[in-house]
Amino acid sequence: MELYLTSTGGYFALMIMVGIVLAGASLIVAFNHYVAKHIFIVLIEKILGTKRTGLGKIIIDNKIPHLLAYLIPAVVLCYFSYLFDIDHPHFKLFLAQLVLSLSEIYIIFNVALIFSAILNCIDDRYNQYPIARLKPIKSYLQLIKIIIFGICIIFAASIFFDKPPIYFFTGVGATTAFLALIFKDVVMGFMASIQLAAYDMVRIGDWIEMPNFGADGEVMEISLSTVKVQNFDKTIVTIPSYSLLTSGLKNWRGMHDAGGRRVKRSISVDINSIKMCDADLFAQFHDLFSGKDLQQKDLTNIGWFRQYLQQYLQKHDGVHKGLKILVRQLQGTANGLPLELYFFTNETDSSKYEGIQADIIEHVYAIMPRFQLRAFQSASGHDE
């Protein structure tokens, strides 16, 4: 910028001319902004349709028409930037290059925002397909955004300092270690997201547990650096992506894929109620083994009880027949002889699962007296 002033009047003339130029520029920008906002955007929204549920709605929700419209004033300002040079017999003021540079920088970052919005549209559209739950792409799109904005910063610096872009690219290698330190979580998160996707460890919709972070709920979002989990009480927990590889992740997806949820419950039988089975006792519970020809064997009442429970579980409508069903004895303790029931329900929903489990355990306690067995419980004031 060169400025030659010869008198006080020159200053006054300069102020008037700069004011006229700025007023004209403001009018140009204001007019183009009005056209962009009230004509261009409205026209695009009518073409796409604001009530659509497909791609048109996604484009409008991500403000792509608005970002395109805001390019118009900057482009017009670039085109008329030569008008900002003031040539006067007593002074010269060169503003064209400054206005042009600022407008170009604005256009660069606006284009970056447009590309970012397009990537958001791609992610929203992709999430409408079932495969999105298995292979989310949000972390990869976020990496592309970082690269785009990094390139934009280099080009903006090139324009502002009037240096070729290669001048700044050559310095990237020297600052890589510094940037890696600043964006450590982003880099680690990106590497972790690649491993999570490659080994299929976590998907959107999986129910996971991570006690160290207070997470016990459904995965809502997997991004470049974080995983968002909604707990059963509707609270939201955000976990660093790399922590899923190092902090003990428990994923319940296998249970849902198998179609069965495990029940592992033990009932302590009072040892004093265990005895050999005689003819009278055998006759009392013989009818419990429906459709089975039984002969009295040299078995205990708890042995017959164990066989009955095995048959009962195999016939129960709520028990998954394709998975393991087991009734076994555990090591006896001071609290009696534990009899463990190990099976899977055919429902994974928590409310139905608890209902099936409760029905079975209640039946076990209710049927024990038929075998002249008692469940062990500590003495209380009601015991005689």
* Contacts of 328 by beta carbon, 8 Å cutoff, 6+ apart: 306, 339, 340, 342
Confidence of residue 366 (pLDDT cuts 50, 70, 90): very high
Q: What is the DSSP letter of 176?
A: H
Residue 345, class by beta-carbon neighbours within 10 Å (0-12 exposed, 13-18 middle, 19+ buried)? buried
* pLDDT(375) > 60: yes
pLDDT digits (tens, 9 = 90+) for 4-20: 444 455 556 656 666 66
Helix-helix angle 71-79:8-35, to 10 degrees: 140
Query: Assign residue 202 a region: left if phi > 0, alpha if psi is -120 to 50, beta otherwise?
Result: beta
**Secondary structure (3-state) at 233:** coil
Per residue in 23-74, pLDDT (tens digit) is: 666 666 676 666 666 676 677 767 666 555 577 777 777 878 778 877 877 7
Predicted structure pTM score: 0.52
Measure the CA–CA gap between 62 and 351, rounded to whole angstroms: 39
Work out the end-to-end distance of the chain between its first and last CA atoms, rounded to an integer number of angstroms.
106
State which H helix or E strand residue 104 sits in: helix 96-126
At the top level of CATH, the class of 259-371 is alpha beta
Average pLDDT over residues 228-234: 87
DSSP string of 213-226?
GTEEEEEEEE-SSE
Quick check: 33 and 100 in contact, CB under 8 A?
Answer: no
pLDDT digits (tens, 9 = 90+) for 258-309: 778 888 999 999 999 998 888 888 877 877 876 666 666 768 889 889 988 9
Contact yes or no for 269/375 (Cβ under 8 A):
yes
Nearest by Cα to 245 from 206, 190, 205: 190
Rounded-to-integer distance, Cα 178 and Cα 156, Å: 21
For residue 189, give both structure tokens. Answer: 């998160």
- Say which CATH class 186-251 falls into: mainly beta
Q: Which residues contact 298 (CB under 8 A, 6 or more apart)?
A: 276
Comparing C-alpha atoms, which of 229, 226, 187 is closest to residue 204? Answer: 229
pLDDT at 153 over 50: yes
Report domain extents, the chain.
8-155, 186-251, 259-371
* 97 closest CA partner among 2, 217, 166, 209: 2
